[in-house]
A and B are shown apart, each in its own frame.
Chain A
Amino acid sequence: MVTQPLPGRVERTAERLSGGLDAVLGDAYRKPPGASVNPYRDGLVIGSYDIAERCGRRAARPADDYEERVLTARRRVGLLLLRDLWDSAPADRTRPWRADPADLVLAAKRVFSYGDRWPDRLWGWSQSLEPAGRAALVAASITWADGAVRSVGSARDITWSDPRSSLRRDVPGRSVRLAAAVDATRRVGDDDRLLIVSPVLDPSARRLMAAHAALVGSFEQRRHPVARVSVASTNSGDIEHFVVDSELVDLAVDRVVEHAALRLRPDDAAPRPSSACRHCHVLDSCEEGRIHLGLPGPLSGPALTDSVGTQPAGETQEPT
């Protein structure tokens, strides 16, 4: 049964999203008709992890020091390995196909020998590594891909995502982009099902990630609607399934609007200290976080008073 919002409901979702953003952003991040704006440089990009972030202060000030490393690259390279296995499977396969983890090391040899299917910057980075560094990337990517295969259990005919692209929705009239990374798609009857492979264990965070993917996916031109989004943890072996309905999509819209408001007025963002403060990029100037960790008061440095107004909160790099 199709529970995906029908075209009319997609329009309602778009209106609800635009209306919500109008209410919190006002004229901020407006994009003149016909203008070309890079949302990563001059706008807002809101991803799944952004709306799942529980600390408002951390969410309001995304880190701008992205550097490629094995931890950030292994998923995208792992997807290349799985897609290579699909491409290398026998053309006359008569049974539904499933990746064999034992073939991942062979896939790695092929994938690392040419860069035409890689995201450009990722290929460039991998080539800048010494052989042992690339071996570290290969090893981590195989581990990720093996976990991804394990997470889908006995399911067949999984279409693993192209790491060069992700689900995207540019909000009309705004330099605001919604982006959702989905790792696989599977057709079941007349419906599409999306899979997110993530180490996130918190159930509420998983629901938000699924909601965000459902929201962004609902705007895509698809032959088949997205009926379900699953979030799988390769660490714990758990997988949760979320039916795509109005409630899930509206949840995502509300969180996107909340997040946009935080990004516009970061000083209004309420912190939520937790063990995650240890790794937070704003810890040095966050009194609540430092108290929570038993550290001395905020270090001297930029105070948390930068008012954004209509200017972007800061540059963020798009991982490609």
Chain B
Amino acid sequence: MRVSDWLSGLDVPGPPVCPDEVDDLRRALDVEAARLLDAAGVAADADPVQMSKSRLAHLDRCERSAAAPSTLRPTEPVSPAMLAGRALDHFVAQVLVSDRVLEPMRDLRAAFVAHGDDESLACLDEWDGSDEGTAFALRLERLGAVAAEQWSGIDRIWAARSQVPVAAVFADGRLRVSGSVDVELGGPHSLRPGVVVEVKSGRPSSHHRHEAYLYGLQVALRDRVAPAVVAQWYPNSAPAGVPVSIGTLEAAAARLMHGLQRWLELLVGEEPSVSPGAWCEWCAVRDSCPVADPSAPARDRGDPGDELDHRREAEGDEGERW
């Protein structure tokens, strides 16, 4: 189902969460965040503690991996699977403004050039001519085609925008929750209900649903009006949407605070839990971890694209000290 058809058929039950409920939730988050930060001894003038969807997902998968400083990371090259997610984001953004992706590899390079993304361009150059590069090019053809087919034709009344930065600040600036919404549609200043869509290139994962809820929370705090629907979109499927209620936002808030609590506990030296899985493959401390095993079965295989997001988000918060 094309996204435009899905949007046309959206059945938004009742009015969105009202501003008073959003304000109450913000106050509750402020109080809880301050309590946790005070308990952990975070000084008022310390750098803000940063939380993000990737950090929360990482904590859910394996705390030891999540807590490992990226300075310990080996210079693990970006894999095609990691870059595929970034490529799909670019293709969707491109289709939203131009309705087409004509030459996926060329268009992706052009997008990387425009963004000054030298790291990704270097990956493409390295893979060029190799079996890995050929396989990646074929994957790009499929991703470009599906993005063009499924994301084109959205009525401009939806005021579609892509890669929307969001940030929520709590406890007098001591906690920041930042991220980037893949696609936002409608909203309080348009004639359509607000819709948040997370674009995913890999396999469905339970973390993706939580990511969408977190972005719903951040958008609600930003606008004081919650989006009507949050959804994940995977290639060749209709968006999997969930109506946003105060319960949805409260659940996202609770997960955020739980993640913050664990993160603070890990930073002051509490022993992390460990859980092997596919993520061991790109873990910074796998060489010293007695249970590292990328082949270990796990409830959730994780998404290599998440690792790329995590690296880029981690670059912004390595200096946490107090």
A and B held together in a complex: yes
Please list the residues of chain A having a beta carbon within 8 angstroms of any beta carbon in chain B: 67, 69-71, 100-106, 108, 129-140, 142-143, 146-147, 149-150, 199, 201-203, 233-238, 273-279, 292-295
Cβ contacts under 8 Å, B116 to chain A: 67, 69-71
Measured CB to CB, the closest approach of chain B to A285, in angstroms, equals 17
Given known contacts A275-B316, A275-B318, A135 and B189 CB-to-CB distance under 8 angstroms? no
- Chain A residue nearest to B91 (CB atoms) is A132
Known A70-B116, A132-B94, A274-B319; further 6 A-B contacts with Cβ < 8 A: A102-B191, A132-B108, A133-B114, A135-B98, A136-B114, A138-B98
Measured CB to CB, the closest approach of chain B to A152, in angstroms, equals 10
Cβ contacts under 8 Å, A133 to chain B: 110-111, 113-114
- Chain A residue nearest to B189 (CB atoms) is A150
A140 touches B106 (CB 8 A): no
Residue in A70, A130, A135 whose beta carbon sits within 8 Å of that of B106 in the complex:
A130
Measured CB to CB, the closest approach of chain B to A93, in angstroms, equals 18
Cβ contacts under 8 Å, A136 to chain B: 90, 93-94, 110-111, 114-115
Residue in B106, B223, B321 whose beta carbon sits within 8 Å of that of A132 in the complex:
B106
B167 touches A295 (CB 8 A): no
| B156 close to A (CB within 8 Å) | yes
In the complex the two chains form, what is the Cα distance from A147 to B50 in whole Å?
Answer: 22
Measured CB to CB, the closest approach of chain A to B227, in angstroms, equals 13
Measured CB to CB, the closest approach of chain A to B121, in angstroms, equals 12
| B8 close to A (CB within 8 Å) | no
Cβ contacts under 8 Å, A129 to chain B: 110, 113-114
Measured CB to CB, the closest approach of chain A to B313, in angstroms, equals 11
| B315 close to A (CB within 8 Å) | yes
B138-172, CB < 8 A from A: 156-169
B157 touches A139 (CB 8 A): no
Cβ contacts under 8 Å, B317 to chain A: 275
Residue in B108, B109, B115, B173 whose beta carbon sits within 8 Å of that of A202 in the complex:
B173
11 A-B pairs (CB sep. < 8 Å): A67-B116, A71-B115, A101-B161, A130-B110, A132-B106, A132-B110, A135-B107, A138-B97, A139-B161, A236-B221, A278-B319
Main SS at interface, chain B: mixed
Cβ contacts under 8 Å, B273 to chain A: none
Residue in A102, A147, A279, A295 whose beta carbon sits within 8 Å of that of B190 in the complex:
A102
Q: How many residues of B contact A (CB 8 A)?
A: 54
In the complex the two chains form, what is the Cα distance from A104 to B159 in whole Å?
Answer: 8
| B248 close to A (CB within 8 Å) | no
Given known contacts A69-B114, A135-B97, A233 and B167 CB-to-CB distance under 8 angstroms? yes
Residue in A104, A275, A295 whose beta carbon sits within 8 Å of that of B50 in the complex:
A275
A135 touches B93 (CB 8 A): yes
In the complex the two chains form, what is the Cα distance from A101 to B160 in whole Å?
Answer: 9
A147 touches B164 (CB 8 A): yes
Cβ contacts under 8 Å, A67 to chain B: 116
Cβ contacts under 8 Å, A137 to chain B: 114
In the complex the two chains form, what is the Cα distance from A137 to B113 in whole Å?
Answer: 11
A130 touches B191 (CB 8 A): no
Residue in B94, B111, B159 whose beta carbon sits within 8 Å of that of A102 in the complex:
B159
A235 touches B189 (CB 8 A): no
In the complex the two chains form, what is the Cα distance from A150 to B309 in whole Å?
Answer: 27
| B75 close to A (CB within 8 Å) | no
